[in-house]
Amino acid sequence: MKVLVPIKRVIDYNVKVRVKPDNSNVDLANTKMAINPFCEIAIEEAVRLKEAGIATEVIAVSIGDKSCQEQLRTALALGADRAIQIETSESLDSLNIAKLLHKIVEEVQPQLVILGKQAIDSDNNQTGQMLGALTGMPQGTFASMVKVEGDKVNVTREVDGGLQTVALSLPAIVTTDLRLNEPRYASLPNIMKAKRKPLDVKPAADFGIDLAPRTKLLKVTPPATRQAGIIVESIDELVEKLKNEAKVIS
Amino acid sequence: MSILVFAEHDNSALKAETLKTVAAAQAIGGDITLLVAGHNCQSVADAAAKVNGVSKVLVADNAAYEHQLAENVSLLVTELASDYEHILATALTTGKNFMPRVAALLDVTQISDIIAVESADTFVRPIYAGNAIATVQSLDSKKVITVRTTGFDAVTTDGSAEVIVLDSVTDAGTSSHVSDELTVSERPELGAASVIISGGRGMQNGDNFKLLDGIADKLGAAIGASRAAVDAGFVPNDMQVGQTGKIVAPDLYIAVGISGAIQHLAGMKDSKVIVAINKDPEAPIFQVADYGIVADLFDALPELESKL
């Protein structure tokens, strides 16, 4: 079976983002970029399914300008077989991303689509579920374990109270949580090999979808900053402050 | 305007977070309907009818909704959607799971995790792990929204809404529930606790989390953890506080052996009072803590427990 892995190019998770002085957006100029960490877990899971003889082909797809080819090449170095870039210079809303991915699903006909549960830039947590609705596929979101068994996949999900396992008919959508796996590092020979793997570029405009924005970003501001407080010298002083100054314990 | 609010529950009790999502609906303004979708969930429907500001409670009680599978619940909500301009759910794992499906089925995008309402179509939400705050206007005719509860104060529960039983059943037939492995705890839930004590990598192992128990008992606190502690297998995932775990804002948050990575701060920096216990004076957690104590947690915790 084929596994499709949509990935997103985002700010590196170690980098602290800054808001532009005119409050129009965040400033990403000269910022280190990377594969969204959850998407990296998605690639790893797909590659492991291939190594286990369950998946036959792993296809990575990303939507963005030419720079996202860098992340697609990383996906190829991690073990994806081929890549597709849907080329656009626009920043698209999740629904439009899901509509473009729907077209790719129709073309590739994967049995599994594995995505990150959320991107660490927009923190939306939407695309996988939206793709599920558009394709009519069931979904196992926030996955910490994925087991393909016959024409079903069992997905253990991280939910508020603990873990929940659901059985989904294939084809299905899986979105990854942190504990699903620990992604490997790309080896140098695999990075070299990735340069020769196929990467198709398809202009977003060719899909015949209305990609007009669904939201308007009015402003972006820095969060209210917390003042650092005081260092207390002893537990006695801490308890006294919590009782009499902060009044949060009695 | 009419607003549909999805009630979070476990088929026996209405979750307190729903009261905050109703507060967000009140901030938008309009006639508010609560939807209770579950199975054998009459007690939830009764509790929902008492939520202030709600005029109607719709109850969909059927086996298809017992585990609130996204495939089935999204079809139900989409079917009801024509009567409402706004559809709200709490940004907990159930709401996060099914709501984007509702949005896509309605051909609108979703506004996730709002923390404030500017107007009926404009909302405030954190991005980049809360390191930036975006004000976003929805251009869609219907607004599908998830609400981060730390931004709103709970409404009271002395109302009396009309209860209407729905009999249509939407079962997509593509998914089924296999099992739950839920953490059983006598302590308050992280989302509802007024005091939280969390442990990080500095706890060294799962056994040492017992050091937090006595303090939690004395303070009536919930126990949380940083991602590092969960990833290391010290404690289960449902204890994780942070950007991708639970977002909390208690009156008192005590961070023990937690360095304070931005992903953790994103989950707790709206707490009223933050206490940090860490042996590294350079730990970033001290930059957000109201009270910090530079100490070995293995000395500090027993002493703190004895002095409370």
Rg, Å, chain A Cα set: 21
DSSP 3-state of A206: helix
Amino acid at residue number A139: Q
DSSP designation for A171:
S
The pLDDT score that the predictor gives to residue A57 is: 98
To test the contact with chain B by mutation, choose from A17, A153, A160, A169 the residue with the greatest count of B C-beta atoms within 10 A, namely: A160
Quote the mean pLDDT of chain B: 95
b/e per residue A225-244 (b: at least 16 CB within 10 A): eeeebeebeebeebbebbee
Chain B residues with CB inside 8 Å of A158's CB? Answer: 93, 237-238
Please give the structure tokens belonging to residue A108: 């590739």
ipTM score here? 0.95
- What percentage of chain B reaches a pLDDT higher than 90? 93
Closest-approach residue (CA) in chain A for B287 = A228
Chain B residues with CB inside 8 Å of A94's CB? Answer: 100, 109-110
pLDDT tens per residue, range A57-98: 999 999 999 999 999 999 999 999 999 999 999 999 999 999
Residue B109 and residue A215: Cβ atoms within 8 Å?
yes
Q: How confident is the model at residue B1 (pLDDT cuts 50, 70, 90)?
A: confident
Distance CA B122, CA A221 (A): 15
Distance CA B9, CA B16 (A): 9
CB B172 within 8 A of CB B71: yes
Chain A residues with CB inside 8 Å of B172's CB? Answer: 136, 138
Please give the span between the terminal C-alpha atoms of chain A, in angstroms, as a whole number: 61
Residue A238 and residue B275: Cβ atoms within 8 Å?
yes
Residue B287 and residue A228: Cβ atoms within 8 Å?
yes
Selection from B217, B227, B215, B205 nearest residue B275 by Cα:
B215
CB A64 within 8 A of CB A202: no
Please give the structure tokens belonging to residue A4: 């499709």
The pLDDT score that the predictor gives to residue A2 is: 98
Q: What is the mean pLDDT of residues B269-283?
A: 95
CA distances from A139 to A103, A126, B71 (A): 18, 12, 8
Q: How far is B153 from chain A (nearest CA, A)?
A: 18
* Crossing angle of the two packed helices B93-105 and B70-80, in degrees rounded to 10: 50
Rg, Å, chain B Cα set: 20
The pLDDT score that the predictor gives to residue B186 is: 86
CB A121 within 8 A of CB A15: no
CA distances from B191 to A126, B90, B217 (A): 22, 11, 17
**Looking at the partner chain, which of A178, A215, A239 has a beta carbon nearest the beta carbon of B244?**
A178
Selection from B251, B248, B261, B250 nearest residue B288 by Cα:
B261
Residue whose token pair is 């009764």: B46
CA distances from B209 to A159, B131, B205, B230, B301 (A): 21, 30, 7, 12, 11
For residue B192, pLDDT over 90 is answered with no
Chain A residues with CB inside 8 Å of B178's CB? Answer: 154, 165-167
Beta strand A139-149 with A172-176: parallel, antiparallel or unpaired? parallel
The pLDDT score that the predictor gives to residue A7 is: 98
Selection from A163, A179, A228, A160 nearest residue B149 by Cα:
A160
Question: What is the pTM (predicted TM-score) of this model?
Answer: 0.94
Please give the structure tokens belonging to residue A68: 């996202």
Residue whose token pair is 């109607």: B56
**Average pLDDT by stretches of 10, chain A with 250 residues:** 98 92 95 97 98 98 98 98 97 97 98 97 97 98 97 96 96 96 96 97 97 97 89 95 92
Q: What is the mean pLDDT of residues B153-177?
A: 95
Size of interface A-B (CB pairs under 8 A): 263
Closest-approach residue (CA) in chain A for B195 = A248
The pLDDT score that the predictor gives to residue B189 is: 87
For residue B139, pLDDT over 90 is answered with yes
Distance CA B180, CA B186 (A): 18
pLDDT tens per residue, range B87-116: 999 999 999 999 999 999 999 999 999 999
Distance CA B76, CA B168 (A): 8
Residue B195 and residue A246: Cβ atoms within 8 Å?
no
Selection from A73, A70, A76, A68 nearest residue A50 by Cα:
A76
Q: How far is B160 from chain A (nearest CA, A)?
A: 29
Q: What is the mean pLDDT of residues B22-40?
A: 98
